[in-house]
């Protein structure tokens, strides 16, 4: 019998030159290359960008690695936290700015 892939959820805060430079649009584009990623990207009022991503462990790892690789010159620090998997999270979107 096949085992189900492990689903995970992560919240990542990126700091550096991440606002006003197309960072969110690039993250959204990267999500299109990683089928099965659900979540969002948004600016925080403290100058950071937040990404919440959920999906198969392998897919999320590849997605976050692609962000780091493609946007490395903009990123000074990255903070990753585990989140519980949300049953109702589908698709990937750019959300409005939220307090940090």
Residues catalogued as catalytic:
24, 43
Q: What is the C-alpha to C-alpha distance for residues 10 and 61, in angstroms, rounded to an integer?
A: 10
Q: Tell me, what DSSP letter sits at residue 51?
A: E
Q: What is the C-alpha to C-alpha distance for residues 71 and 75, in angstroms, rounded to an integer?
A: 7
Q: What is the C-alpha to C-alpha distance for residues 7 and 55, in angstroms, rounded to an integer?
A: 5
Picking from 6, 9, 14, 2, the residue whose alpha carbon sits closest to that of residue 92 is 9
Q: What is the C-alpha to C-alpha distance for residues 40 and 50, in angstroms, rounded to an integer?
A: 8
């Amino acid at each position: 019998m096949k085992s189900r892939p492990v689903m995970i959820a992560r919240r990542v805060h990126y700091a550096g030159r991440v606002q006003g430079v197309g960072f969110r649009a690039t993250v959204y584009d990267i999500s299109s290359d990683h089928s099965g990623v659900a979540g969002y990207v948004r600016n925080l009022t403290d100058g950071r960008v937040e990404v919440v991503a959920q999906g198969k462990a392998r897919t999320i790892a590849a997605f976050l690695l692609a962000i780091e690789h493609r946007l490395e010159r903009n990123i000074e620090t990255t903070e990753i936290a585990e989140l519980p998997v949300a049953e109702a999270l589908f698709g990937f979107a750019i959300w409005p700015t939220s307090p940090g």
